[in-house]
C-alpha cells in the first residue's frame, strides 16, 4: 500500500521533472531529425537501428552494455563519448568502468556510418540512439531522441569518481544525482535500468559471505535467494568471476518493472538495489513502480533527460573519425 500523500507528492515530482527536462533540452541545442539530409542517401537512425537489431539477434545482453555505457559516459562530463577514448589514465581505465562492455559494437556502428558519410555522426550520438533502439527492442518504451552532440576531447580516470558505487547509501546517491540536476524520483526511475543489468560475483561477495564482518549473508536479502546465489552463481572459491543478473531469471533480458518486484521480495542483488527498497525516501517509489504501469513512461522521460546532460554542441568538441581516439 502506498503511504498517504504519495500520490500528490508524485504529481509534484512529475511536474518538476517535466519543467526541468524541457529547460535542459532547450539549453542543449539538440534537434529531432538532426542528421536528415546530412548522410547522402543513408538514414543515420536507420543504420543504427539495423545494427542494433542484428546485434541483439545473438547478444541480447548488449542492452545492458549500452545502458551501462550511456550512464557512465553521461554522468561524467556529460554525454560526450569521453568514456570511449583509449589510453593510459582515461575514464575507461577507472575501476568504476571495469565492467562496461560493448565498445566493439560502437566501433562497428561508427565504421558503418563513416563509410556512408565520413565525419558527420558523433560517437556520443551513436551511444544515445543505439541505447534507445535496444531498450525498445527488448520490450521497453519507444521514445524519440534529439541528436547533434559532439564528442569530447578530454578523458581522465579520476573523473569517474562522480559515479555512484554499487555500495552507496541512498542519501549519498540522492545527493550525487542532485548535483547532476536529477531528483530522487528520477534517480529511482533510472535505477530501473537494472531490470536488464548484470554484475559480477566479486561485487557482491561480501554481501553473500561476510556482511559487515559477520561471516554471514546480508540479513536484508531473502535467505533463499542468498542460498541460490551462493550455491549456483557465486560459489566460494570458484575460479571465475561469474556474471550475476540483477533481475529475476525469468525476466533478465526483458525491459520491464520486475526489478522493482525483486526489491520488494528482498532479492535486490547490489547493495544499492536493496537499499532503494529500505530507505523511507525511496521505498514508496519502489512500491509505486512495482504495482503500477508508470515505469516505462517515466523511464523514457528520465533517460531522455540523462541523454541531454551537459552535452557539447555547435563548435564545442569534435566529430571523431574513430571513437577510441581524438582527431
Determine how many CB atoms are found less than 10 A away from the CB of residue 104: 9
Is 78 annotated for ligand binding?
Answer: yes
Give the C-alpha distances (Å, rounded to integers) separating 45 from 74, 85, 123, 125, 303: 20, 23, 13, 10, 18
Is 68 annotated for ligand binding?
Answer: no
What is the total residue count of the chain? 327
Is 189 annotated for ligand binding?
Answer: no
Cα torsion through 209, 241, 169, 70, rounded to 10: -170
The single residue of 72, 167, 200, 301 carrying the catalytic annotation is 72
Is 219 annotated for ligand binding?
Answer: no
d(CA 39, CA 110): 13
Is 258 annotated for ligand binding?
Answer: no
Is 293 annotated for ligand binding?
Answer: no
Is 194 annotated for ligand binding?
Answer: yes
d(CA 6, CA 114): 49
Give the C-alpha distances (Å, rounded to integers) separating 94 from 25, 67, 276, 290, 305: 29, 18, 25, 34, 25
Is 171 annotated for ligand binding?
Answer: no
d(CA 210, CA 184): 30
Is 318 annotated for ligand binding?
Answer: no
269: region left, alpha or beta (phi > 0 left; psi from -120 to 50 alpha): alpha
Which cell is 111 given? 565504421
Q: Which residues contact 3 (CB under 8 A, 6 or more apart)?
A: 284
Check if 72 is active-site: yes
Is 250 annotated for ligand binding?
Answer: no
Residue 239: exposure state from Cβ atoms within 10 A (0-12, 13-18, ≥19): exposed
Which residues sit in the known binding site for substrate?
A: 164
Which residues sit in the known binding site for heme b?
A: 194
Which residues sit in the known binding site?
A: 73, 76, 78, 80, 82, 91, 164, 194-195, 248, 256
Residues annotated catalytic, as ranges: 72
Which residues sit in the known binding site for Ca(2+)?
A: 73, 76, 78, 80, 82, 91, 195, 248, 256
Amino acid at each position: 500500500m502506498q503511504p498517504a500523500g504519495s500520490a500528490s507528492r508524485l504529481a509534484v515530482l512529475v511536474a518538476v521533472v517535466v519543467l526541468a527536462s524541457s529547460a535542459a533540452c532547450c539549453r542543449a541545442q539538440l534537434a529531432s531529425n538532426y542528421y536528415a539530409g546530412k548522410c547522402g542517401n543513408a538514414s543515420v537512425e536507420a543504420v543504427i537501428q539495423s545494427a542494433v537489431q542484428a546485434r541483439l539477434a545473438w547478444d541480447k545482453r548488449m542492452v545492458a552494455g549500452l545502458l551501462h555505457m550511456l550512464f557512465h559516459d553521461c554522468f561524467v562530463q556529460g554525454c560526450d563519448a569521453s568514456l570511449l577514448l583509449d589510453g593510459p589514465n582515461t575514464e575507461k581505465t577507472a575501476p568504476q568502468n571495469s565492467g562496461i562492455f560493448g565498445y566493439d559494437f560502437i566501433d562497428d556502428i561508427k565504421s558503418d556510418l563513416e563509410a556512408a558519410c565520413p565525419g558527420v555522426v558523433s560517437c556520443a550520438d551513436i551511444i544515445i540512439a543505439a541505447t534507445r533502439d535496444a531498450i525498445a527492442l527488448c520490450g521497453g518504451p519507444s521514445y524519440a531522441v534529439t541528436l547533434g552532440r559532439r564528442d569530447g576531447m578530454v578523458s581522465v580516470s579520476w573523473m569517474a569518481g562522480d559515479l555512484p558505487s554499487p555500495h552507496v547509501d541512498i542519501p549519498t546517491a540522492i545527493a550525487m544525482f542532485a548535483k547532476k540536476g536529477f531528483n530522487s524520483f528520477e534517480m529511482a526511475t533510472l535505477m530501473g535500468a537494472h531490470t536488464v543489468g548484470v554484475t559480477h560475483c566479486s561485487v557482491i561477495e561480501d554481501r553473500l559471505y561476510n556482511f559487515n564482518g559477520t561471516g554471514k549473508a546480508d540479513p536484508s536479502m531473502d535467505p533463499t535467494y542468498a542460498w541460490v546465489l551462493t550455491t549456483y552463481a557465486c560459489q566460494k572459491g570458484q575460479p571465475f568471476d561469474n556474471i550475476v543478473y540483477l533481475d529475476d531469471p525469468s525476466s533478465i533480458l526483458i525491459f520491464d518493472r520486475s526489478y522493482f518486484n525483486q526489491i520488494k521480495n528482498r532479492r535486490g542483488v547490489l547493495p544499492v538495489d536493496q537499499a532503494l527498497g529500505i530507505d523511507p525516501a525511496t521505498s514508496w517509489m519502489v512500491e509505486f513502480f512495482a504495482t503500477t504501469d508508470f515505469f516505462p513512461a517515466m523511464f523514457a522521460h528520465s533517460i531522455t533527460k540523462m541523454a541531454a546532460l551537459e552535452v557539447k554542441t555547435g563548435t564545442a568538441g569534435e566529430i571523431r573519425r574513430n571513437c577510441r581516439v581524438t582527431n
